[in-house]
Structure 1
């Protein structure tokens, strides 16, 4: 998958944000909203609650100088709020791989936008709109590391991975004899790699490219060896809201707003034209 793809989104637990200046004007839903539907509840509340991250460069990162979340996922979150509410007003809740599903099921958040790979197992617990982006598992090492050039080279090595992520199954598939060490977040995994607690780190290339753009000690090895579609997580069984979000995705793809968002976030690091958005699947 050549130059590849990134993405995911926002947070500050329990912290609300006013409409962000400079956000692209996106479409606004003009149709009828059913009483008691998810869209109706969001409108009555006046804010879209999103689960995500604030420490993912190019995807959803808090700018300490402005207090604004920047990146592909962060922009998409504001655009979805614009579609639902007519203004990009969001409330950002910090999510981890372990808390995403509980946050959806108990209604703490309306959506998860956080490099959330769609898998058959997750579909049994979460509804997904999208995919809205596509990435793949890739390998990162400390700069200057020798002996790891392809997935098979992970055999017998200590490999770092995020807990509860598709990286674990991907490592077991290509290198069954690797010893996997799990950590709870991308920053924790990066810190462990730099401390020598593992010889390689396997993660979505989306996140690794963003990490490498900020950290000269990190080196990516080879190309992605899986295909991972990112979805927008929605409470399981909420088919109406899932269709609603998919309709919004089709609108921003057709209008070119998806591509525009990519260019001003991920496209500032990844060379070339914006990729074609992935086909939305039911």
Structure 2
């Protein structure tokens, strides 16, 4: 799946938890009630985790406007979605309570936020790549996304990348989707725009046949827009990681241990069902194994 990029405004504005977002499922209390809490022995393995617990709040570089992943309630500021739920679970694991603060970030500053210790982690559909792994470390992956194909609802289904050949396809400039279309559908007429919103507008205006983007972003768009549909075809793999300070191996092991615990307890799967699973049909995907991709 795609390493989705949603521009969320300028750098560091922060937002604490509150209530529900219209059209977005709240984090169910049952998830938080069942969430594990690190033991003293667990915390002793990571000085970073100990410092966060002492502070009493987990600082997360993330998004405030990505539907189904991390979207802020305009009335209360609480964030809801898959990433937001994982953030609450991680905060509870470290602190004992889901106390977190989202530092609103954009892709261009994520590494800087980590390097300057403005945040403890970045949890923002943050794709693990080798160039990024030279600047920060990654726990996870916690999710494997892929490139999804969206069309107008009344159009025939497109069942794979090869069926994009001969069609006009929209993708964001310099996105993973654009790169994959070039590789896997070289005969497609690829048209790129600076933002995904422009891609969606062009699709709705009938100026092309399909929009290719990260599955999580397309799913979020479907939450808001009934004019487009998610097609059955998808392609490519894009692992999402939790960005942390470069070389903080003890914190990486700590987070990876937490990921394994919430996966084994079924909490990862429940979080998926209540967010992305409300739009993406089919079985819940198998959680990825932490440390299983290059750069993690």
Same fold per TM (> 0.5)?
A: yes
Match of 1:225, SS state, is strand
Please say which of residues 253-262 and 11-20 is displaced more in the overlay: 11-20
| 1:175-194, Cα deviation, whole Å (9 max, x unpaired) | 3464452425x445434544
- Of 238, 246, 250, which residue of structure 1 is paired with 2:260? 250
Query: Which residue number corresponds to residue 240 of structure 1?
Result: 250
For the aligned residues, what is the CA RMSD? 3.4
Query: For residues 261 and 30 of structure 1, do their structure 2 counterparts lie closer, same or farther at Cα, with a shift above 3 Å needed?
Result: same
| 1:8-27, Cα deviation, whole Å (9 max, x unpaired) | 99x89432425779461311
Do the aligned partners of 2:147 and 2:214 also contact (CA within 8 Å) in 1? Answer: yes
Distance 2:92 2:257 in 1: 14
Count matched residues: 277
Do the aligned partners of 2:63 and 2:70 also contact (CA within 8 Å) in 1? Answer: yes
Match of 2:234, SS state, is coil
Does 2:39 align with 1:30? yes
Distance 1:136 1:215 in 2: 20
**TM-score normalised by L of structure 1:** 0.81
Do the aligned partners of 1:147 and 1:153 also contact (CA within 8 Å) in 2? Answer: no
Does 2:53 align with 1:43? yes
Distance 2:148 2:281 in 1: 18
Query: Which residue number corresponds to residue 174 of structure 1?
Result: 184
- For 1:11-160, list aligned pairs within 5 A: 13-18=12-17, 22=29, 24-25=32-33, 26-32=35-41, 33=43, 37-144=47-154, 150-155=160-165, 159-160=169-170
Query: For residues 102 and 187 of structure 1, do their structure 2 counterparts lie closer, same or farther at Cα, with a shift above 3 Å needed?
Result: farther
- Of 200, 203, 221, which residue of structure 2 is paired with 1:211? 221
Do the aligned partners of 1:7 and 1:73 also contact (CA within 8 Å) in 2? Answer: no
Match of 2:86, SS state, is helix
Distance 2:164 2:17 in 1: 46
Distance 1:42 1:74 in 2: 18
Distance 1:277 1:36 in 2: 24
Do the aligned partners of 2:157 and 2:232 also contact (CA within 8 Å) in 1? Answer: no
Unaligned runs of 5+ in 2: 20-26
Match of 1:98, SS state, is helix
Q: After TM superposition, give the deviation of residue 136 of structure 1 in Å.
A: 0.7
Q: After TM superposition, give the deviation of residue 208 of structure 1 in Å.
A: 0.8
Q: After TM superposition, give the deviation of residue 93 of structure 1 in Å.
A: 1.6
**TM-score normalised by L of structure 2:** 0.78
Match of 2:286, SS state, is coil
Match of 1:99, SS state, is helix
Distance 1:116 1:100 in 2: 9
Do the aligned partners of 1:5 and 1:133 also contact (CA within 8 Å) in 2? Answer: no
Do the aligned partners of 1:131 and 1:232 also contact (CA within 8 Å) in 2? Answer: yes
Do the aligned partners of 1:58 and 1:210 also contact (CA within 8 Å) in 2? Answer: yes
Q: After TM superposition, give the deviation of residue 74 of structure 1 in Å.
A: 0.6
Do the aligned partners of 2:68 and 2:219 also contact (CA within 8 Å) in 1? Answer: no
